[in-house]
Amino acid sequence: MIRFQLITLLMFMLLLVFMQCDTNPYKQGLALYEQNCQNCHQEDGKAVRGLIPPLAGSDYLLNSGQVACIIRHGLEGDILVNGKRYNHKMPENKKLTATQITNIINYINHAWGNDLPYIPYNIIDEALKECE
């Protein structure tokens, strides 16, 4: 009987441990996105329709170096995303570090059905140095 109770207790403890595990590997990126990007690009990544380019399913995300530079320095002028033109000024985010920008990009690359590769910090850091 004691053996059964010990096994039950062990199973219960394992269940508690698994329930505490966070399955989102990009939680820092999510928090940064919510704080810095979500206001315009929205919670679902579809953005303000017709005014701001979407991030969900966006062909523009394929060039992570360019995306890093846009996050850091903003964007002004025409942009073509998924065959549609947008011309809304995106403000710069100079306060974000290369690590924070890397986290945001990796979150976006894996959110809302996006299936883009993980981008390591050194790639983003180099891209940011080139667009200074």
Please check whether residue 107 lies inside any domain of the structure.
Answer: yes
pTM above 0.75, yes or no: yes
Report the CATH number at residue 51: 1.10.760.10
Residue 99 banded pLDDT, cuts 50, 70, 90: very high
Give the chain's length.
132
Please check whether residue 10 lies inside any domain of the structure.
Answer: no
Please check whether residue 47 lies inside any domain of the structure.
Answer: yes
Please check whether residue 12 lies inside any domain of the structure.
Answer: no
Please check whether residue 81 lies inside any domain of the structure.
Answer: yes
Please check whether residue 60 lies inside any domain of the structure.
Answer: yes
pLDDT at 4: 64
Residue 50 banded pLDDT, cuts 50, 70, 90: confident
Out of 20-29, 32-41, 55-64, pick the least confident: 20-29
Q: What range defines the domain where residue 85 resides? A: 25-130
Residue 55 banded pLDDT, cuts 50, 70, 90: very high
Percentage of residues in the chain having pLDDT higher than 70: 83
The count of domains in the chain is 1
